[in-house]
Structure 1
Amino acid sequence: MGLLNRWSKKKEQEQLKAVRSSASDSEKKTDAKTVSAPQEAGMATPSGTSASDTVSAHEQSPKFRTVVLHPIISEKATLAESQGIYTFAVSNSATKIDVKFAIKQQYGILPKRVSMLCMEGKRLRFGRNRGKRSDWKKAVVSLPKGKTIHIHEGV
């Protein structure tokens, strides 16, 4: 009976291959339809996207509201503002790209450069008990020449 099973299994495998190939052909046809639809509407295709299109896609994300926590107002940060360099406290999971687009979304200016620093929380004592403040992340944002942000308005 082993021979009969081999022949029947081969037939089943051939039928499965035929079904899979027809399914992949139908997927290719639907992909071709979705690509041609934006071209007909006058929209950019994925291969022809520009940098401004990707910026607007990043700006739509609601997570950018929670990236920049608050500006850091210190003597050193205030002196750097005259040179177009601003300092912000950001969430611990934020990346340079996240900060860049969050600043663009909040203030309407795309930063030229973003530097990130991981700040270690200070070690503290509460009587006999020792503790530590939370670690946090700082972003130093450089703006293009002639652009400013008014971060002292609400202070």
Structure 2
Amino acid sequence: MAKNQDVDARHYDVILAPHITEKSMSGEGTITFKVANDATKPQIKEAVEAIFDKKVMSVNTIVAKGKTKRWKGKPYKRSDFKKAIVRLVEGQGSIDFTDGI
């Protein structure tokens, strides 16, 4: 992959949204994102470094399987989605999602 750190439209196709829960926000220096199902760890790392201008130490990914639910007696299945837990390098601080990008 190229080391070009310009923010590109493909970076926004990789990172879909922050996954904000009480558990995901408890880690110091870690941020959790919902990412595209076909995104790889190097793509996720490059996208986070380009969009938020932070250095990434490691990326762990999880595929959360969709639950089977019932609505009006009829079963349906929620979609699967992929999460990425991104650990930032020491001294990088954290990412504030309340600011505009």
TM-score (norm 1): 0.58
Unaligned runs of 5+ in 1: 1-52
Structure 2: distance between partners of 1:152 and 1:142: 19
Structure number with higher strand proportion: 2
Bigger relative contact order (CA 8 A; separation at least 6): 2
In the alignment, which residue of structure 1 is the partner of 2:38? 93
In the alignment, which residue of structure 2 is the partner of 1:55? 3
**Kept in 1: contact 2:7–2:51 (CA 8 A):** no
The alpha-carbon distance between structure 1 residues 134 and 113, as it changes in their structure 2 partners (threshold 3 A), is same
In the alignment, which residue of structure 2 is the partner of 1:21? none
- Structure 1 residue 132: Cα displacement: 0.5
Structure number with higher helix proportion: 1
Structure 2: distance between partners of 1:135 and 1:101: 23
User: Matched residues, percent identical?
Assistant: 32
Residue from 118, 126, 139 that aligns with 2:63: 118
The alpha-carbon distance between structure 1 residues 93 and 59, as it changes in their structure 2 partners (threshold 3 A), is farther
Structure 1: distance between partners of 2:8 and 2:20: 27
TM-score (norm 2): 0.87
1:141 partner letter: V
Any idea what the Cα deviations from partners look like across 1:61-105, whole Å, max 9, x if unmatched? 53212111111111111211xx10110000111110111011011
Rg larger in structure: 1
In the alignment, which residue of structure 2 is the partner of 1:69? 16
Residue from 120, 136, 152 that aligns with 2:81: 136
In angstroms, what is the RMSD of aligned CA positions?
2.0
SS at match of 1:77: coil
Unaligned runs of 5+ in 2: none
Structure 1 residue runs of 4 or more that deviate by more than 6 Å after TM superposition = none
